[in-house]
């Protein structure tokens, strides 16, 4: 397949929607940080976006059917991710209370982000071979083991949010693969037991406080509840049309913590208002619709399940991040895809979409 014909087969609507999100991200980071020390976040994000686009473009032209046709290669990548997660627990850098970063010289990255992509690849391969036998409990257990190992290592960082994302991807894909209702109930019970284990053995006191604060926001308004309260104030200040670019009080005056990452939705809502939020959700809806369409039109089970897995990952992250900002879920540290500041997550999402585009172009 030549270069021109492959370009024509790409889903340009999907690419366009992602570019719009990146533009909104850069506008928001520029607006809330201009003339301040935090402006470095905007400058770095420009680099991350360019790097991510280059990575997506590169992998889009590669034959990613290697993941489908060579399971040993996929297992090798999976084991590499496990090794990176173990290394993070031993040599990692503590950031915001979690041991989630590895540094090589001046370069830092979060292996957990790569783990999300690799889990989708592993499950897509596993379910594509056994989807007609998903009524057998052994296949559910075996697929769960692939997820449980990295999820357990992530819980010990401890990063509850990312572990939840892995669990959501797994549950979503086993449902898609055709799990029986009684087995689904069993899966949910096991998930409850895992959360109980995490509560007693893995979560640190500040993480438990976040959950308790969610149940009672006024429990500690100047401590654990502060982030949530400031987020709600910022969103409320946005009104219908927003305060305007660069006019946000909570974001510009630093009342809103983590305004560049976990709570960037609140900073965005303050400046762009309800109308801007509807536009943002509309762009995400385009991405979800295109990924679902790609999944349904796929000519093989691997491509179908992988595309659905990428959609599940992005949807779960968007749902959790926005729900946290609105006070509907406890604070988990999940970023807003393509909008929050950060290189590891952004690069992972671009790589995932690059694989999707490659599968679309080759329809194999």
- pLDDT digits 0-9 by tens, 9-68: 889 999 999 999 999 999 999 999 887 877 899 999 999 999 999 999 999 988 887 888
Kindly state whether residues 54 and 82 are assigned to the same domain. no
Kindly state whether residues 127 and 209 are assigned to the same domain. no
Kindly state whether residues 279 and 350 are assigned to the same domain. yes
Mean pLDDT of 261-286: 96
Least confident of 149-153, 176-180, 230-234, 257-261: 176-180
> For residue 277, is pLDDT > 70?
yes
Kindly state whether residues 184 and 298 are assigned to the same domain. no
Provide the number of structural domains found in the chain.
2
| Residue 102 and residue 93 in contact, taking contact as beta carbons nearer than 8 Å | yes
Kindly state whether residues 299 and 187 are assigned to the same domain. no
Kindly state whether residues 145 and 279 are assigned to the same domain. no
Residues 6+ apart with CB under 8 A from 149: 82
**175 belongs to a structural domain:** yes
**66 belongs to a structural domain:** no
Kindly state whether residues 161 and 256 are assigned to the same domain. no
Q: CA geometry: angle at 103 spanning 319 and 121, to 5°?
A: 45
**303 belongs to a structural domain:** yes
Kindly state whether residues 212 and 323 are assigned to the same domain. yes
CA distance 227 to 218: 12
Structure confidence at residue 176 as a pLDDT band (50, 70, 90) = confident
**49 belongs to a structural domain:** yes
Kindly state whether residues 126 and 11 are assigned to the same domain. no
Kindly state whether residues 323 and 209 are assigned to the same domain. yes
CA distance 332 to 320: 8
The average confidence (pLDDT) of the chain is: 87
- pLDDT digits 0-9 by tens, 285-318: 999 999 999 999 998 889 999 999 999 999 999 9
The pLDDT of residue 211? 67
Least confident of 208-222, 223-237, 248-262: 208-222
The pLDDT of residue 263? 93
The fraction of the chain above a pLDDT of 90, given in percent, is 52
**270 belongs to a structural domain:** yes
**12 belongs to a structural domain:** yes
| 3-state SS class at 177 | helix
The pLDDT of residue 102? 85
**Which domain does 364 fall in, by range?**
1-61+204-364
The pLDDT of residue 181? 74
Domain boundary, last residue among 203, 223, 257: 203
List phi, psi (to 5°) of 104: -120, 100
Domain boundary, last residue among 146, 169, 203: 203
CA distance 255 to 135: 52
Q: How far out from the chain centre does Cα 302 lie?
A: 21
- pLDDT digits 0-9 by tens, 103-135: 776 778 899 999 999 999 999 999 888 766 666
Kindly state whether residues 237 and 307 are assigned to the same domain. yes
Kindly state whether residues 224 and 351 are assigned to the same domain. yes
**257 belongs to a structural domain:** yes
Domain boundary, last residue among 177, 203, 229: 203
**232 belongs to a structural domain:** yes
CA distance 34 to 38: 8
Q: What is the largest CA-CA distance in the chain?
A: 62
Q: Which residues pair with 104 in a beta bridge?
A: 107
Q: What is the DSSP string of 4-15?
A: HHHHHHS-HHHH
The pLDDT of residue 221? 66
């Amino acid at each position: 397949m030549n270069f021109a014909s492959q370009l024509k087969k790409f889903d340009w609507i999907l690419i366009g929607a992602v570019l719009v999100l990146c533009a909104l991200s850069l506008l928001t980071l520029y607006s809330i940080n201009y003339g301040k020390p935090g402006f470095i976040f905007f400058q770095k994000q420009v680099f991350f976006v360019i790097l991510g686009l280059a990575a997506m473009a590169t992998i889009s032209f590669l034959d990613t059917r290697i993941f489908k046709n060579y399971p040993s290669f996929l297992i090798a990548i999976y084991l590499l991710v496990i090794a990176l997660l173990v290394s993070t627990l031993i040599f990692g850098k503590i950031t915001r209370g979690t041991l989630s970063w590895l540094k090589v010289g001046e370069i830092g990255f979060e292996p957990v982000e790569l783990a999300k992509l690799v889990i989708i690849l592993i499950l897509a391969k596993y379910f594509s071979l056994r989807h007609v036998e998903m009524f057998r409990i052994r296949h559910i257990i075996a697929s769960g083991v692939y997820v449980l190992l990295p999820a357990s290592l992530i819980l010990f960082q401890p990063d509850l949010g990312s572990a939840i994302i892995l669990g959501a991807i797994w549950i979503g894909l086993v449902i898609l693969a055709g799990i029986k209702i009684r087995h689904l109930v069993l899966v949910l019970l096991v998930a409850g037991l895992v959360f109980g284990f995490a509560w007693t053995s893995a979560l640190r006191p500040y993480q438990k406080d976040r959950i308790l604060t969610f149940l009672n926001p006024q429990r500690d308004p100047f401590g654990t509840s502060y982030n949530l309260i400031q987020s709600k104030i910022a969103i409320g200040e946005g009104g219908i049309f927003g305060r305007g670019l660069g006019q946000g009080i909570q974001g510009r005056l630093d009342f809103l913590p983590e305004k560049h990452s976990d709570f960037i939705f609140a900073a965005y809502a303050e400046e762009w208002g309800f109308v801007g939020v509807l536009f943002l959700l509309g762009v995400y809806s385009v991405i979800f619709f295109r990924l679902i369409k790609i999944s349904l039109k796929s000519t093989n089970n691997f491509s179908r399940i992988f595309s659905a897995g990428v959609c599940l990952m992005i949807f779960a992250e968007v749902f959790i991040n926005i729900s946290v900002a609105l006070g509907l879920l406890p604070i988990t540290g999940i970023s807003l895809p393509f909008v929050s500041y950060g290189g590891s997550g952004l690069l992972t999402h671009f790589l995932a979409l690059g694989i999707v585009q490659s599968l679309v172009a080759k329809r194999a």
